[in-house]
A and B are shown apart, each in its own frame.
Chain A
Amino acid sequence: GAGVSQSPRYKVAKRGQDVALRCDPISGHVSLFWYQQALGQGPEFLTYFQNEAQLDKSGLPSDRFFAERPEGSVSTLKIQRTQQEDSAVYLCASSPIGGINQPQHFGDGTRLSIL
């Protein structure tokens, strides 16, 4: 079956531009997560949705980062006025239901480069 799909796979933007990254979770998955992974590091949590509700956005590094999941399926991570330190791989993950003891299913990520 289809896994988590992210687009674009690669994005190059000039500093100051806005970018939008898309995540299509596995159909029917309730929980959706965004992570940021710097080169050579482990992923770091950004935000979490359960259906359309954003239950945790404590990991978003600044108010330039905004995420939404308006219909409880596809999610978009938007970064405004990008800066060089935003360069990273942005990973999306989903899991079937809310609650503990659930593995997460990851997409291949969007590699964002800010020039």
Chain B
Amino acid sequence: SQQGEEDPQALSIQEGENATMNCSYKTSINNLQWYRQNSGRGLVHLILIRSNEREKHSGRLRVTLDTSKKSSSLLITASRAADTASYFCATDARNAGNMLTFGGGTRLMVKP
């Protein structure tokens, strides 16, 4: 079973707009990670935020983590058509032996 839920399940925006995806989870975590998956390909790691961090940036990506609410968000600024993909959050839960538990993903389409 999957730990988290992602919201929205699908998102369609115009190039240049910002895209925000949310993730909720259920258990205590060591860290939360965001991955991207293009159709027919494997997952590519985007960013890892530790449980004692609240915000992290990487290029056009901004991730927040609220452990009190067990939620995270991924913001992609100034989106590009090449950002079209599925985005997954994954939690590395405490006492779970390094396995990742993924949400159901957000399918992002960026229209040129």
Which A residues form the contact surface with B (CB < 8 A)?
4, 31, 33, 35, 41-45, 48, 55-56, 59, 91, 93, 95, 98-109, 111
Contact = CB atoms under 8 A, between A and B. Distances in A.
B79 interface: no
Contacts of A56: 97, 99
Contacts of A33: 98-100
Nearest to B102: A42
B42 A91 contact: yes
B92 A42 contact: no
A45 B42 CA distance: 15
24 contacts: A33-B98, A33-B99, A33-B100, A41-B2, A42-B2, A42-B104, A43-B88, A43-B100, A44-B2, A48-B97, A56-B97, A59-B99, A91-B43, A95-B98, A98-B98, A100-B98, A102-B98, A103-B33, A104-B43, A105-B45, A106-B43, A109-B41, A109-B42, A111-B40
Contacts, number: 70
Nearest to A91: B42
Contact of A43 (B40, B43, B92, B98): B43
> Which of B30, B45, B88 neighbours the largest number of chain A CB atoms within 10 Å of its CB?
B45
A104 B105 contact: no
Given A101-B31, A103-B48, A31 B42 contact: no
A98 B97 CA distance: 9
B4 to A, nearest CB: 8
Contacts of A98: 98
Interface string B61-84: 000000000000000000000000
A102 B97 CA distance: 12
